[in-house]
Amino acid sequence: MTLTAKKIALSEKYTELFYANQSKLDEDSSNLFNRMREIAFKRFEKAGIPGFKNENYKYTNLERVFGKNYRHVFEYEKVDVDLNEAFRCDVPQLDTHVVLLVNGWYYAKNQPLENLPKGVVVGSIKQIANEKPELVESYLNRQAGLSDDPMVALNTAFAQDGFFMYVPDHVVFERPVQVINIMRSEDPVFTTQRNLIVAGKNSQTKVVFCDHTMSDCEFLANNVTEVFVGDDAVVDVYTIQNQNNKANSVNSSFFKQGANSNLLTSVATLHGGLIRNNLKVEFAGEHAEANVYGISFTDKKQHVDNYTNIEHAQPNCLSNQVYKNVLDEDSVGAFTGRIHVVRDAQKTNAFQRNNNVLLTDSAQMNTKPQLIIDADDVKCSHGATIGQIDEDALFYLRARGIGEDDARMMLMNAFAHEVVQKIRIEPLRDRIDELVEKRLKGELAKCHSCDKN
């Protein structure tokens, strides 16, 4: 088949899949979802699954993973998750509310969360869209719907369930919510998860997503998360990606920030197959601040691509981005960081940095900053480095009796630490430090519940 023929075949495969299952998708879903499907699917069809020719997916060809055959989960599958097994991945000493999602669906046996502050709603987006549509309607797809990314449209077309959280105005929700996303199946599965977080004016909340696999098969997830940060709100969203190396995913996150709001979002990628993280922040009010961080450790044939887009649509806002990657063996990484300062978004501060360490000759890193600045009174900076372990530092440590392997580990940990230390939940920070160290020692791959690599 020629490339074009292949592309058409792939596109037809999803067309067939959608129309053959549309009624099934609609059956058990909220009308808020159903009414978006067809338009979204048509948008997806226009571009299809992005291949190398799509400039935005230049470093990550999705045709390969989307071309395979998967089982699709169009209705809730009754499963039993051994909680002990799932909880092995949790964060000790971290006092959190925990909810599980299995293959993109809100786990039916999640206990109702107790002692939530007044008005806080946490649960299945499917259920809440049915029962309290007023909480969902004004937000769902209001950010994602503006995206021209076909993967986002594909999610909207197939979305049925996911995680939902609503924190009313002026509510400080101190206890973090930990969302454990589990992929479990005996055969390759394709999942579509749709998350929505709404933090009202002057509210505060923290969410930790932990992506895990509990079986050793191929997975493909196409997820979308929308986060609305109200005026003066403070929101933290952390993600730990630690799946088996055959689990592939596209994760698109959209953050919309009101005036004077403060966002911190950070992603730590430890294990996984092909991972593409899209992240967009849009400032909808002045004096808002977004801190966006990422760290990844890859080896074997892992592929991790972070693609960020900070839309400085308002004056006087601040964005900080730091992404770091440690690449071993034949792994491939990519970082594209777009900053767009619109006309009149004066006094913008936008900073971006991407630092990478290649541990082998065959590891590969692609990095592309993209600054589009249409205002004239701004401070913007970007910087990217790709290098090896600092040999002088290594010698310094060894000259003090620290063995070569330990010294390398110390240096890699130190490299990661700049990102990890930004985490505003201390036990989580310690936990990620620990995970990073285990990851570097190769011990994570032995953790039965999280990884079967």
Partner 1 sequence: MFRQGAQNSELETTENMLTIKNLRVAVEGKEILKGINLEIKAGEVHAIMGPNGSGKSTLGNVLAGKEEYEVLDGEVIYEGEDLLERSAEDRARMGLFLGFQYPVEIPGVPMVNFIKTSVNEHRKYKGLEPLTAGEFLKLMREKKELVHLDSQLTNRSVNEGFSGGEKKKNEIFQMAMLEPKLAILDETDSGLDIDALKVVSDGVNALKDPSRSTIVITHYQRLLDYIVPDFVHVLYQGRIVKSAGKELALELEEKGYDWLKTENV
Task: Provide the binding-site residues for partner 1, judged by CB under 8 A.
Answer: 390-393, 395-404, 406-407, 410-411, 413-418
Count other Cβ atoms within 10 Å, centred on residue 384.
17
- Least Å from the CB of residue 302 to partner 1: 23
| Residue 343 or 400 having the CB closest to partner 1 | 400
Give min distance, CB of 388 to partner 1, in A: 14
C-beta of 384 vs 397, nearer to partner 1 = 397
In sequence order, the 6+-apart residues with CB closer than 8 A to the CB of 409 are 437, 440, 441
Q: How near is the Cβ of 207 to partner 1 at its closest, in Å?
A: 27
How far apart, in Å, are the Cα atoms of 139 and each of 32, 134, 326? 11, 9, 36
Kindly tell me which of 360 and 421 has the beta carbon lying closer to partner 1. Answer: 421
Q: What's at 305, amino acid-wise?
A: D
**CA 193 – CA 181 distance, rounded (Å):** 10
Nearer to partner 1, 338 or 398 (CB): 398
Dihedral over Cα of 203, 340, 417, 181: its sign: positive
Nearer to partner 1, 52 or 396 (CB): 396
Residue from 203, 126, 211 nearest 163 by CA: 126
The smaller minimum CB distance to partner 1, of residues 3 and 387, is found at: 387
Residue 232's contacts (CB-CB under 8 Å, 6 or more residues apart) are 201, 202, 258, 259, 260, 261
The minimum distance between CB 359 and partner 1, in angstroms, equals 17
Helix (H, G, I), strand (E, B) or coil at 300: coil
Q: 3-state DSSP call for residue 312?
A: strand
Smallest distance from the beta carbon of 326 to partner 1, in angstroms?
A: 13
- Beta carbon nearer to partner 1, 52 or 395: 395
Q: Which residue type is seen at 212?
A: H
Q: Which is nearer to partner 1, 159 or 326 (CB)?
A: 326
State the SS3 of 348-412.
Answer: CEEEEEEEEEECCCCCEEEEEEEEEECCCCCEEEEEEEEECCCHHHHHHHHCCCCCHHHHHHHHH
CB of 408 to partner 1, least distance (A): 12
Q: Least distance from C-beta 294 to partner 1, angstroms? A: 16
Distance, in Å, from the CA atom of 176 to the CA atom of 443, rounded to the nearest integer, reads: 27
SS3 content of the chain, % helix, strand, coil (to 5): 25, 35, 35
Asked if 312 and 285 touch (Cβ cutoff 8 Å), the reply is no
186/174 Cα distance (integer angstroms): 38
Shortest Å distance, C-beta 339 to partner 1: 25
Q: Is 136 left (phi over 0), alpha (psi -120 to 50) or beta?
A: alpha
- Rounded to a whole number of angstroms, the minimum distance from the CB of residue 418 to partner 1 is 6
Please answer whether residues 104 and 185 qualify as being in contact, where contact means their C-beta atoms are separated by less than 8 angstroms.
Answer: no
Closer to partner 1 by CB, 183 or 436: give it: 436
> Is the Cβ–Cβ distance between 326 and 298 less than 8 Å?
yes
**C-beta closer to partner 1: residue 26 or 437:** 437
Residue 162: CB minimum distance to partner 1, A? 36
Beta bridge partners of 336: 307, 368
